[in-house]
Amino acid sequence: MQAHNLGFPRIGAQRELKFALEAYWRGEIDRGQLEDQGRALRAANWKRQQQAGLDLVPVGDFSFYDHVLDHSAMFGVVPERFGWSGGEVDLDLYFHMARGRAPSGEPAAACEMTKWFDTNYHYLVPEVSKGQVFRLSSQKFFDEVREARALDIPFKPVLIGPLTWLWLAKVKGESFDRLELLDDLLAVYAEVLEELGALGAEWVQIDEPILVLDLPTAWKQAFEKAYNRLQAAPVKLLLTTYFGALDDNLGLAASLPTAGLHVDLARAPEQLDAVLDRLPAYKILSLGLIDGRNIWRADLDALLTTLDRTVERIGSERVWIGPSCSLLHVPVDLESETELDGELKSWLAFATQKLDEIGVLRRALTDGRAAVAEALDAARRAGKTRRQSPRTRRPEVRARLEQIDGSLLERNRPYPERRPLQRARLDLPSLFPTTTIGSFPQTAEIRGVRRAWREGNLDEHGYVARMHEEIAHVVRKQEEYGLDMLVHGEPERNDMVEYFGELLDGFAFTRFGWVQSYGSRCVKPPIIYGDVQRPAPMTVDWIRYAQSLTERPMKGMLTGPVTILNWSFVRDDQPRAETCAQIALALRDEVLDLEAAGIRAIQIDEAALREGLPLRRSQWQEYLDWAVRAFRLTASGVRDETQIHTHMCYSEFNDIIESIAEMDADVITIETSRSQMELLDAFVNFEYPNEIGPGVYDIHSPNIPTVEEIVALMRLAAERIPPERLWVNPDCGLKTRSWEEVDPALHNMVEAARRLREEFAARASA
């Protein structure tokens, strides 16, 4: 029996990678120093896994920005706008693709970014064109294998499978079937596998998570073609699936000519019997027993029962034990959390502890339960205290849930009747009103003030005074730009989910529980361990102060219930829908308090609505029903003249546009700039009834948009959406940008809106 891992967090226990990347981008360290930091992190991660007793340690899961982009670079898939003429795709070109810059120094649109399946991790979308040429263009992967071998690490190289990489790619230019590229792509994969065999690899983990999706017939047939070709490689392939059940793809996955199959038993434990029935006798079966997506300690007794049943069916020599998926999605090490409540801490397991759980399971099977009796007893005690703890259940919260009825889910009037009331109250331009998404630059000084306050080095009065200074500064800047609807800038907020979680009952927070979102961007998800309620207003004083500084409308800014849920580590002892409804009721109280304080517009961000969609279409409607219900429960208590906004991050909207409309937000802002407004294609065949703000420039890139670029994008938007229902705004919050970038960008955005008003007013009168 073998114990292995599928992937480990890259960022470092203290976010060493984040700080090294940002120092490199600022020019404070050189490329050699950045690469040294990468080598040190890889070595530390490998040794940590080796010391946990793993028989095989993943290599190739480390990335300086994104593992999908790593593969694009390795295959020589570089969009023309980056000026690559062949040869090695070096680190700087790699960062240009991620962040948006041509080698000449001129701005170039960054590669589109979207969510990795239904996680909160973002990947860089590969761009392919008809006749795409693939060639091995990076040695990074092989260099890391050599590093691991030199350190005597029992390595297992990790690759994204060819069908999954191609599925994730987007066609640019002339339309064609991506599967036309498969033969040429497989030639490069064969070359990669040959080289790995030459470097001494016995097993290669080849990830094909699209096997848990609803696949077209042509793609299923392509799997057979691809793996029949790759079976000649001088390595054993572990076909790795995760994030769900194989279901109708089980027969296909089991029959492919690979030496092993990995299945996710954390997300889909019900599939085990079917897998055992279909697995050929020559294959090993890797059981994804430890949850790689959540942070709760495992029920080791239950997992051992599953292992016993599996071993009885196929024998221990054919069984491997691992996590359900890469541990990229959980924090590094629970032991760093010295200030976390002891009882709660006993319920948790981060990446390092999950390695230990894998080791305990393997030892229990190979050496007997007595060999790990202490670890098993500790897991039992933690499970018992969690089940019995009164802190997880609040009778008043559950009583309130029982009182929800349809009257709480509806606005008084439909949108067409609300619109004139809101326009009159808000005094907005009739065409192309301007706003931003919420946050403004969070400078080192602001973060320092928050840190001093949290550490007790600045009293409450001093902290509030300093935050008020920053809010006043942001309000003045927005008035200078000429924005029509303002925001307070969120200087008091660390993270759009963490901030609210810290003010709600039922949430806990860590100091070092960082998880990579993309590149150097890390988030620290809250832990929802108990019933949720709001003990006091969370934003009202800040927003009310900001509104007192201006005559222009000031948006209240809240994170929506579905996003708080999807961007947290959620309790697993009750349905997610129930937890979401609890959050919605708490936020509803905040919405009503904002309105009572005189706030005329309230934005309830649902950035993560789309990513929570189940991977199988048959399960979509159930999720969408309770997600939309939670949003409406949050928003629907306000008067008709109060304008409700929402914002959604990088998402494909075509398949859920009707549900988005059912949310009945007066204004929705979405991220469309990286796709050149392609996301608005969702609105061509569906007449979206309310107002839309398509993001006109990419805030994740340091590039400054020109007036002409913004005007051109909005003209495209106006081809799909009536211009009188369009807003002009950036595609996301501005907290990660500097004032030197924000000032010219927003000046240009407001000027573009002015020109658009003149242009479209002239059209209307012509």
Active-site positions read 700
Q: What would the two tokens of residue 343 be? A: 């009882």
H/E segment holding residue 71: helix 67-74
Distance separating alpha carbons of residues 720 and 684, to the nearest angstrom: 6
Residue 443, classified by CB atoms within 10 Å of its CB into exposed (0-12), middle (13-18) or buried (19+), is middle
H/E segment holding residue 42: helix 31-51
Q: What would the two tokens of residue 622 be? A: 């159930």
H/E segment holding residue 452: helix 444-454
Q: Which residue has the tokens 């005189």?
A: 598
Q: Which residues contact 630 (CB under 8 A, 6 or more apart)?
A: 560, 561, 562, 577, 580, 581, 583, 584
In angstroms, the first-to-last Cα distance of the chain is 78
Distance separating alpha carbons of residues 471 and 527, to the nearest angstrom: 29
Distance separating alpha carbons of residues 36 and 42, to the nearest angstrom: 10
Distance separating alpha carbons of residues 20 and 27, to the nearest angstrom: 11
* DSSP notation for 349-412: --HHHHHHHHHHHHHHHHH-GGGGHHHHHHHHHHHHHHHH-GGG--HHHHHHHHT--GGGG--S
Q: Which residues, listed in sequence order, are joined to residue 508 by a DSSP beta bridge? A: 527
Helix (H, G, I), strand (E, B) or coil at 562: helix
H/E segment holding residue 170: strand 170-171
* Contact assessment for residue 648 and residue 682, using Cβ atoms and an 8 Å cutoff: no
Nearest to 195 by CA among 226, 159, 238: 159
Distance separating alpha carbons of residues 509 and 516, to the nearest angstrom: 17
Q: What would the two tokens of residue 420 be? A: 């004139």
CA atoms within 13 A on the CB side of 225: 17
* Contact assessment for residue 324 and residue 293, using Cβ atoms and an 8 Å cutoff: yes
Q: Which residues contact 639 (CB under 8 A, 6 or more apart)?
A: 412, 595
Our measurement of the distance from residue 714's CA atom to the centroid of its chain's CA atoms, rounded to an integer in Å, reads: 27
Q: What would the two tokens of residue 107 be? A: 């701005």
Our measurement of the distance from residue 433's CA atom to the centroid of its chain's CA atoms, rounded to an integer in Å, reads: 30
